[in-house]
Amino acid sequence: MEQNYSLIVQSRANYYTAGSPVQFVRVELLKGDVTGEVAVCLTFKNVGTEPLTGLVIHFKCKDAAGQILCEDDFYYEQLNAAPGALFGSDDAVYVSDTPVSSVEIEQDRVFLNGRGVDLRGYKRVRLQPPRVLPGSIARTLQARTGNRELTCVPQDTEHGWFCACGAFHPNEENTRHCSECGADRASVKMTLTEILEEARQAAERQQREINAVVDPAAAAAATAAAAQAAIGAQPAVPAPAAPAPEPVFPPQAAPENEYSEDIEAERVRRYAPNGRLFDDETMTEEEGTRTFDADETARYETDEYDSPADRRGRYADEDEESEDDTMAERIIRWAPPITAVACALIIAVSLVYHFVIA
C-alpha cells in the first residue's frame, strides 16, 4: 500500500565518533498518512576523503518505558556518498505500530571503494548542544544571509566546529561549508560579529539617552534633598529667656511715726540702680530725690498707680516692656520657620518648571 510519510520529530546526534570516516547525524520519526505507522529513518555523513559505498549499523528502538521494541542490523548498500555527503534519510530501518521514544546506534563496518573498515574500535565523544541565538539576532542573521536555518551560535570546539544551523563538523571533515545548510563558516561568523557590534552600539546609545533624562532629574532631586536637609538641620533659634524674677526683699521695720531713710534707700536701689530718680516735679537741690507727703506715700505703697495718668510721676520701672521689645521678640521667634517655608516653595517651583514646563 502506497502512503506518504510526514515528519513527526527529529533529533540531532549528541555525540560523534572520533577518527571514524562516518558520522551519525540525526534520527527522524515519520508517520504514515494511511496506516498511522511510525517509520524510523537515520542520517549519516561521509567525513572521510574517499567515496563511501556501504555501511552496516546495529540499532535499538525503545518505547517511553525504555523497553526495546526492535533490535537489529541494517545494511546501507550500493551507496556512492562523496566526501561531505549525507545519506540514509530515505531508508526506514524500522516501521512500528507503537510510538518510538529513543533510538540507539552502533556503527559496525564501512566500505570505502569496496574496502571494508571496522568501526567498532572508534570511541564516541559526547557533544554539548549548540547555544541558541536570541530571537531578534537570529532573525537579523537569517535576513542578511538568506538562510532560514541559522538559529544557533557558530562556535569552535576541540573536536570540530558547530555551524549556525546546529550541525557539527568534526576535524576529520576538514571543510569550510556546512554540509547540511550550505552556509560558509567564515562568512556567517563575520556577519554575526557585525550584527552583535551594531546591537552593542545601539544599546550604548539607548543607555546614553536614558542617562541624559535621568541625570538632570537625579541632580534636581539631590538639590532638593540637600536643601530640605539644610532646612531641617538649621539650628532652632532659642526663645527669648523669660526675665529673671525680681528679687523680693522683705521690708525692714521702721520706727513708729518716723520717716525711715532705709525704706527710701531700698526704693532707690530697686527702681534706680544708677542712684538717681527721675520725676516730673521739682527736686530738692540738696537730696536729689522727690519729696512725698504721707497720702501720696500711702497710695504708692498700696499700688494705686494703675492708670497712665497716675504713673506719670512714678519711678522708672526696668521690668516694664515697651512695644519695640515685643516686636523684636516676635521677629526672632517667627523668622526661621518663615525662611524655611520660603526656601521649600522656591525649590518646588524650580522642580515643577524643570519637569512640567521646560
Which residues are 104's β-sheet partners?
60
Q: What are 261-289's pLDDT values in tens digits?
A: 555 555 545 544 554 444 444 444 444 44
Q: What are 207-227's pLDDT values in tens digits?
A: 888 887 766 656 666 666 665
pLDDT band, very low/low/confident/very high, at 292 (cuts 50, 70, 90) = very low
If residue 105 lies in a helix (H) or strand (E), which one and from where to where?
strand 102-112
- Per-residue model confidence (pLDDT) at position 23: 93
Q: What are 115-140's pLDDT values in tens digits?
A: 899 999 999 999 888 899 999 999 99
If residue 192 lies in a helix (H) or strand (E), which one and from where to where?
helix 185-233
Q: What is the mean pLDDT of residues 47-67?
A: 92
- Per-residue model confidence (pLDDT) at position 254: 45
Question: How do the domains of the chain map onto residue ranges?
Answer: 5-126, 135-196, 261-313
Residues 6 or more apart whose Cβ sits within 8 Å of residue 131: 152, 153, 155
Sheet bearing 102-112, strands edge to edge: 68-76, 52-62, 102-112, 115-118
From the CB of residue 47, how many other CB atoms can be counted at a distance below 10 Å? 24
Stronger pLDDT, 210 or 315, i.e. the higher one: 210
Stronger pLDDT, 334 or 253, i.e. the higher one: 334
Q: Which residue has the cell 567498532?
A: 120
Query: What is residue 42's three-state secondary structure?
Result: strand
What topology is assigned to 5-126 in CATH? Immunoglobulin-like (2.60.40)
CA torsion sign for 204, 210, 215, 221 is negative
- Per-residue model confidence (pLDDT) at position 323: 62
Q: What are 149-205's pLDDT values in tens digits?
A: 999 999 998 889 999 999 999 988 888 899 889 999 999 999 999 999 988 888 888
- Per-residue model confidence (pLDDT) at position 308: 46
Stronger pLDDT, 69 or 305, i.e. the higher one: 69
Q: What are 15-48's pLDDT values in tens digits?
A: 989 989 999 999 999 998 888 889 999 999 999 8
Least confident of 53-57, 86-90, 171-175, 291-295: 291-295
As a whole number of angstroms, the distance between CA 137 and CA 340 comes to: 56
Nearest in space to 59 (alpha carbons), one of 44, 47, 80:
44
Cα(first)–Cα(last) distance of the chain, in Å? 80
- Per-residue model confidence (pLDDT) at position 267: 52
Residues 6 or more apart whose Cβ sits within 8 Å of residue 97: 36, 37, 38
Q: What are 62-87's pLDDT values in tens digits?
A: 988 889 999 999 999 989 999 889 99
Q: Residue by residue, what is the 3-state secondary structure of 11-40?
A: EECCEEECCCCEEEEEEEEEEECCCCCEEE
Is this prediction's pTM over 0.95? no
As a whole number of angstroms, the distance between CA 32 and CA 37 comes to: 5
